[in-house]
Each structure stands twice: as C-alpha cells, then as structure tokens.
Structure 1
C-alpha cells in the first residue's frame, strides 16, 4: 500500500464493465493505493450501483461516497477530495485504464521534486484499449505548462496526481461545467503551485462521442467564461484573451464534421 487516494467519479451513464476494468487497473498498480474513493451525486441505474457495491465488498481499500447535494462534476470532485484521507490524490474516470507503473512514477516525482501536481500524456481509444486512435501530448516542464495555461489546458485531467493539501489550499474544485480541470489548474498556478508532466503515456481513456461533447453553445459559453477567468487571474494577457475568443470559441459552434477536423489538428 501507499499514501495515495484515488478519486474516481461515477456517473449515471457509466458502464459497469468499464468501471470494473478501471478499478482493476488501479488495484494492479506496482504501488497500489491506500484507498479508492468512488464518488457519486446522482441516482444510479441498478447495474452500475451493483458494480459499485461489488467493488466495495470485494476490495477493502474501496469505498463509496454519495453527495446528493454536490453540483456538477466539480462539486462532486471537491466533496470527494475532502473525504480522501491520504496526502496524495490520483484522479481517474470510470472508463480509464492506468498503466501499472503510473502511481509509482508519479509518486516519485511528487516526493522527490518540488512538483505539487504531476500528469502525463493520454492515449485515446474508441473501442479497443489496445489500439488507441490518438495521443494527447502535453508539455512536461513547469515553465512550458505555465506558457500553455492562457490558451490551452496543459494537463490531461484523468492522468493527474497531486498534493491534496496544496490543491485544497488553492481552492480545490468548483462547479465550472466543462472546464472543471482547466479552472482548477489555472487557480493552482496563480497560487504558486508547481506543475510537471511525465513524458510518458500512463493512462488510456475511452472517448466515444468525443466530438458531440466538445461542441455546442454551452461549450462556447464555457470557453468565454474560462477566457475571462484566465484574464482575472492575471495568467492571460489582453492579447491572449482576444486570441482565446477568436480561436477557441468559433470551433465550438461549427458543424460536427468540421469540428472533428479542427480537433484532429489541435487535439483539444
């Protein structure tokens, strides 16, 4: 065991088989976590509720925390983060697969360097985890990550592990639909936290219907909100904000096929 908590949100639409697969990749780590906190804030279908119950019964490190009053993903993650008991917290989603050495490699960075938050590249697959369709690469050094922050989220959220207290002291998660992670990292950067990404692909993520989730008026509004926040935090310059409005907002309103082409080019 280690001094790691895993924070894993489960939604009403999560697939039981995917959840079992994600959980298995956690338990089979070369450095297994001390606890796996499965968090929910919705009423669940019987099959996914049964899957959670089975995991908790079968694995003593796992427990289920339900927060019916938590608002959105940010709200349930913040509530879950407060319930995590270990000093380091690893994020995962219910359809992700962590490579066996992930926790070992990331914990080494957090304990042996000044980094407060560490992530990695992310492989995306649609049907077969063994044949990813693309890889979302991110900058590795703190300075490069800071340079990306004004115009593009520099961390792959489900690959991150971080110092629990440092992130909570920076404000933790908020209800910021579709931008929960970028919002968190921006406030952490403004608070002086140190970032790093390993030059490795430590998580595979299922991304069915990716394009649909990344388009539409709501996503465009979220981009505008994010641009203003980056400006208010003094992370983005006036020029950065104008570029954000002109380069990131319009693609969210494009037809699906065009948006897919744009996504293939810019990969987020």
Structure 2
C-alpha cells in the first residue's frame, strides 16, 4: 500500500476530554489521504481507550505507546513510524479546520524552498476569556504570512504555532528534527531550519483553533520560560548575524536586554554598548558595558544593533526612529523582543 501524503503526529497525555475532537477534526477535513499517529504518552486517564476506539473505527488512526517519556520523545517516536512525504503536527486539545491539511500541502508543493508552513490561528477556551498576552501573540503571529516577514521577526517570539505546522519529512530527517534539551523544542526547530537556509511562513487562512488553558506546557514547563527562549535567540544570533566576530549593541538595559546580553556573551559574542532611555542608567556601566542614550547611536556601522525592549509598543517606536535615521532592519539592526 502506498504511503499517505501526510502523517499527523499527535502526542496525548491525559487528554480524555478533548483528544477525540482533535482527531475527528483531522479525519473530517477536505484531505482524506492522511494517517494519524496518536502517541499515548503515559496517560493515567481514559485517553488510551479513546484513541483505541478511534483507531477501531477508522484505519487511518494508529495508536503508539510513548511510555511517558515526554513530548520530544513522542514526536521522535511518531516520526520514525512516518513514511509520508509530509508530516504535520497536532495537539490533543486543539481543533483543525477543514482545509488545514489540504491548504498546507498545496503551499508546500507550490514552493520547494519551504521546509514547512504554519497557519493563522484562532484562540479559544470555554471557562473564561482568552489571555490578553496570548491573544497579542496570536495577532502578531497571524501577520507572518510571508517568508520575508517571518525571517524579519524570528528573534522576537516563536513565529509558528507548533500544532498548526506541516513540514517536509525529508527536511526533518536531514536536520535532526526535534531535539531534547532545556529549551522550547518548537522554537529551536524553527531557528535551526531558518539557519540552514530553509523557508517558513504562515498561511493567510485561519486553519487551527488553538486552545488556551491553564495547563498549557508553555505555562507549566520550565523549558518554555522566557529565559530559555532568550537563550535560543542568543545561540542563533551568535552563529548567524553575529558570526565571524561581528560586534553588537543591545538596545535595552532592562531585564530582557540584560538577559540577552548575558547569553550572547556566553555564546562568545561581543556586546560593545547598551542603549537605554532611563537617565539613571545612561552614562553608567552594567556588567562593564557602557550604557548610552539613543541620541549617540550615530549612523549604522559595522556592528549589529539588537533591539531587546520588553514593552511591545516600544518596538514599533524604535523601528520608526531607526528607519528615520537610515538604519535598515535585517541589515543594520534586528528586533529580539
């Protein structure tokens, strides 16, 4: 039997209440040539029984035993069982809209440069309103519908919603796919693929309903702490835009900027200056790095300016200021918060 066009990797742990709808939303989609590899990752509720019931009713569903080894191990296990040219992700508490897989495959087949695509997302939860900070993140992510926009914004936050993505299996195998570590596995994968020269983008359609819940791994697992994201940013800044000893200036002497500065120096990068607007900081030295005001930045030079200011609205003000001075984003400066 020929392999299906796409295999969906769906890890599940204690998702008895939601996993049936997640799987059914895939099976009911406009693309029927698929396989769902559902990994029961050590559930202690009725998740395994729900998955086995789905598999008994539809041969496109197969249940694997993840043994409670965690998300990355479950993804690696499912990837080893996948034979299709495309691999999609899905979480056990989300819902795929009908055209999700069909539109993703069409986009990948139309552009061989793309390693994968995500989709625009719609947040939902039943118990209370969606978190405003998560909604702001979704609004930002939903604007990254071109390769150029995603590359420009890649150091700000994770530019793809993990359960919305569809990827080329050969690219995952060639690059090693998801990796274990004390860091967010999805963001690390996107950065690795971009660093390798592949393209990524989000489709302009909302094709995934992404559940906001208090038990999200991003809220409960230390691997998704903001400092671990910052470490990934520093790692790929150091081996990418700052490779070859290119020095940098970090705009932001607050917690975000100082955390990035520390990680950059640990990665061997040279941070020559910190920029800040606070009068008590300007003219001082922090970690033996001089703090200067934006007015003394001057024209762009050989170094890279990394804007790392934690206040969201400040990013656009800084961009406008730098553009007015002749700085070019992606060449002279990058935003990293």
TM over 0.5: yes
Residues 223, 9 of structure 1: alpha-carbon distance in 2 compared, 3 angstrom cutoff: same
Give TM-score, length-normalised by structure 1.
Answer: 0.80
List per-residue Cα deviations over 1:121-140 (Å, max 9, x = no partner).
11111118xx9774442411
The equivalences for 1:249-268 within 5 A come to: none
Measure the CA separation in 2 of the matches of 1:248 and 1:90: 37
Q: In the alignment, what sits opposite 2:232?
A: 226
CA shift, 1:240, in A, is: 8.4
Measure the CA separation in 1 of the matches of 2:221 and 2:79: 30
Partner SS, residue 214 of structure 1: helix
Q: What is the root-mean-square deviation of aligned Cα atoms in Å? A: 3.4
Q: In the alignment, what sits opposite 2:101?
A: 103
Partner SS, residue 123 of structure 2: strand
Q: In the alignment, what sits opposite 2:126?
A: 127
Partner SS, residue 35 of structure 1: strand
Residues 178, 92 of structure 1: alpha-carbon distance in 2 compared, 3 angstrom cutoff: farther
CA shift, 1:179, in A, is: 1.0
Partner SS, residue 46 of structure 2: helix
Residues 263, 63 of structure 1: alpha-carbon distance in 2 compared, 3 angstrom cutoff: farther
Q: In the alignment, what sits opposite 2:148?
A: 143
**Stretches of structure 2 lacking an aligned partner (at least 5 in a row):** 261-310, 316-336
Q: In the alignment, what sits opposite 1:36?
A: 36
Number of equivalences: 251
Q: In the alignment, what sits opposite 1:169?
A: 174
Q: In the alignment, what sits opposite 1:47?
A: 46
Partner SS, residue 18 of structure 2: helix
Partner SS, residue 160 of structure 2: coil
Which of 221, 246, 249 matches 2:256? 246
CA shift, 1:146, in A, is: 1.2
Residues 245, 73 of structure 1: alpha-carbon distance in 2 compared, 3 angstrom cutoff: farther
Measure the CA separation in 1 of the matches of 2:151 and 2:118: 14
List per-residue Cα deviations over 1:190-245 (Å, max 9, x = no partner).
11212121111110011111789438976144234323322343156865877696
**Stretches of structure 1 lacking an aligned partner (at least 5 in a row):** 251-261
Q: In the alignment, what sits opposite 1:5?
A: 7
Question: Which structure features the higher share of helix residues?
Answer: 1
Measure the CA separation in 2 of the matches of 1:263 and 1:212: 23
Measure the CA separation in 2 of the matches of 1:240 and 1:204: 39
Measure the CA separation in 2 of the matches of 1:87 and 1:240: 43
Measure the CA separation in 1 of the matches of 2:38 and 2:165: 16
Q: In the alignment, what sits opposite 1:84?
A: 82
Larger radius of gyration: 2
The equivalences for 1:36-75 within 5 A come to: 36-42=36-42, 44-68=43-67, 70=69, 72-75=70-73
Residues 125, 170 of structure 1: alpha-carbon distance in 2 compared, 3 angstrom cutoff: same
CA shift, 1:265, in A, is: 11
Partner SS, residue 10 of structure 2: strand
Measure the CA separation in 2 of the matches of 1:125 and 1:199: 19
Using CA pairs below 8 Å that are at least 6 residues apart, which structure has the higher relative contact order? 1
Contact residue 40 and residue 47 of structure 2 kept, 8 A: no
CA shift, 1:177, in A, is: 4.8
Residues 246, 233 of structure 1: alpha-carbon distance in 2 compared, 3 angstrom cutoff: same
Matched, 1:19 2:19: yes
Q: In the alignment, what sits opposite 2:281?
A: none
Measure the CA separation in 1 of the matches of 2:221 and 2:80: 33
